[in-house]
Structure 1
Amino acid sequence: MIANFDDEINVKYEEITDKNPLNPTLNPTLNQASIDKGHIKIRNRPETIIHDKPQPPFPIHEKSSIISGFGRGSSELGIPTANIPIQDELNNLQTGIFYGWSKIHPNPNLKDSTEKRIDGNEIIFNHGNKLIAKELCIFPMVMSIGWNPFYDNKQKAAEIHIINKFNDNFYGAKIEYIVLGYIRPELNYTTKEALIKDINLDIKIAKEILSKPEYEKYKDELKD
């Protein structure tokens, strides 16, 4: 199986780790990726290794409340994310980008409430009760764990982008997720446009891997 991605992305190639959160090195151009024989190769970007099936410590199956974040994913990038608390199993992972499956669980027993986001803006917690049935299915996801060096975050965060278009927010709902593998370490970028292109490339890679039977079958673990 080969999938070609003809994206050209300028990145400040930084591998972000717990011990060394900011370590700038190169500024390469990233222009083509292919999935072939268990590897995703992109020039000047860390290689993604695809195993025949998830390898330890995966799968990681958790359920978390969706909390407020910075609001940048949707407003600035057009790629909305659900922020979740970093539980122990996630905190023990290498920082970077991961993939898997996810599902939203509304809480119909809770009424709408208003809370202040980190940036001071008020947001409505509707606990997922505005979602319709087709938005409560199991969807592929990509997850970011780390400091997001492009925005120079001071606090480690975990964010999930559910690969589906939703008509409303779902702050305060529960999100059940299963993490199945790792795509790459965190990187920094020369422009916001480059960041968006790279996230979209991560999404393409995740969807390609999750279409493999040994990864797709984990959807069943999120069924009611």
Structure 2
Amino acid sequence: MCLLARWALGWLLVSESVVVIGNFDGVHPGHVEVLAEAHARRPDLPLVVVTFWPHPVRVLRPERAPMLLTGLDERIALLRAAGADRVEVVDFTPEFARLSPEQFVTEVLSPLHPALIVVGENFRFGHRAAGTVDTLRELGRGRFEVDALKLVRFRDEETCSTTIREALATGDVAHAAEHLGRPFRFTGVVAHGDHRGRELGFPTANLPVPDELACPADGVYAGWVTRLDELDAHGEPLPEGQDAERWPAAISVGTNPTFDGVQRRVESYVLDRTDLELYGAPIAVDFIERIRGQVRFEGIDALILQVEDDVRRSRDILHAVG
């Protein structure tokens, strides 16, 4: 068995570590709390996060694979921001899935020299998820301690990736944000579209929606667009120390049924801006509030009137939230 890759905030030559294990899709507040608790228990040791790629269900039961809330690079960045000193990404293959709980400990955990392992109370591991928290404690007896943390709740719901996906599937981005602890973010590289938005006076930055990534339900949303490559609106380098600009936007998700589109895209019109040079640029789209569902219009005039109203409502929503 081998690890796919290692990302670290500098390699730390230590004899022991605190290890946290999980899928961490979305890196929601429950995940962040696990990392914070792990660090609080042994602040003297580096915090190592073990995660898996691709998602285990995609390997074991691909027909039931969940759409992911983040890609791997974003997951790693969020884990590092949450306090991970190292992120170990395990290549989840059919061969890896057949490891027994004992082999999992020997081949994945022992090389990290854990003094303490922290997991969620529902953690399972090894072939056919045979290993439980109690199994891990027994296997670690005399070598490492194990702490299992209760799941975080928001109001009367458990905060988990499934809850967030379900909220996105209905377009309830506000509820998804409550469980994520931040607005849902969709990232990608701006691609050329049909250029109809520019012809109508509302040029959009278009991001294709990969099949494996979660995205809000088809419709129109208010949100923000941020360029991620340290360049400005026209592709020029930002002054040293200046943060990336965040632009208010009206965002359409869907296939553009008025024009018989087939490719699902996230199309963002940055309010009152027609001068942006974003083709080929990596951007982030943060969803704040849903305005309406996707509609097929009978003509261009009706579409333009609706887009004008979408822009007005987006401006009001984003002005209110700041």
How far off its partner does 1:146 sit?
1.0
1:186-197 equivalent positions in 2, closer than 5 A: 186-197=294-305
SS of structure 2 residue aligned to 1:183: strand
Deviating runs (4+, > 4 A) in structure 1? 130-133
Asked whether the equivalents of residues 192 and 206 of structure 2 are also in contact (C-alpha less than 8 Å), the reply is: yes
> Which blocks of at least 5 consecutive residues in structure 1 are unaligned?
1-50, 109-126, 217-224
Which ranges of structure 2 fall in alignment gaps of 5 or more residues? Answer: 1-171
Letter in 2 for 1:96: G
Counterpart in 2 of 1:152?
260
Distance of aligned partners of 1:158 and 1:196 in 2 relative to their CA distance in 1, 3 Å threshold:
same
Larger Rg belongs to: 2
Check the 8 A contact 1:131/1:167 in 2, yes or no: no
**Greater relative contact order: 1 or 2 (C-alpha under 8 angstroms, separation 6 or more)?**
1
Structure 2 residue corresponding to 1:56, chosen from 176, 184, 203: 176
Using the size of structure 2 for normalisation, the TM-score is: 0.39
Alignment RMSD: 2.9
What does residue 129 of structure 1 align with?
A: 235
Tell me: CA distance 1:190–1:166, structure 2 relative to 1, closer, same or farther (3 Å): closer
- The structure with the largest strand share of the pair is 1
Identical aligned residues as a percent: 24
Q: Of residues 133, 138, 143 in structure 1, which corresponds to 2:246?
A: 138
The one-letter code of the counterpart of 1:176 is A
- 1:38 alignment partner in structure 2: none
**Which one has the bigger helix percentage?**
2
Q: Do 1:131 and 1:168's aligned partners in 2 also have CA atoms closer than 8 Å?
A: no
Give CA deviations for 1:68-96 in whole Å, capped at 9, x if unaligned. 11111102x11000111215221xx2211
Matched, 1:65 2:189: yes
Matching residue within 77, 83, 93 for 2:206? 83
TM-score (norm 1): 0.55
Give the partner amino acid of 1:56.
A
- Contact 2:203–2:274 (CA under 8 A) maintained in structure 1: no
Distance change in 2, residues 1:164/1:130 (3 Å): farther
Aligned match of 1:99 in 207, 222, 240?
222
Alpha-carbon distance in 1 for matches of 2:247, 2:177: 21
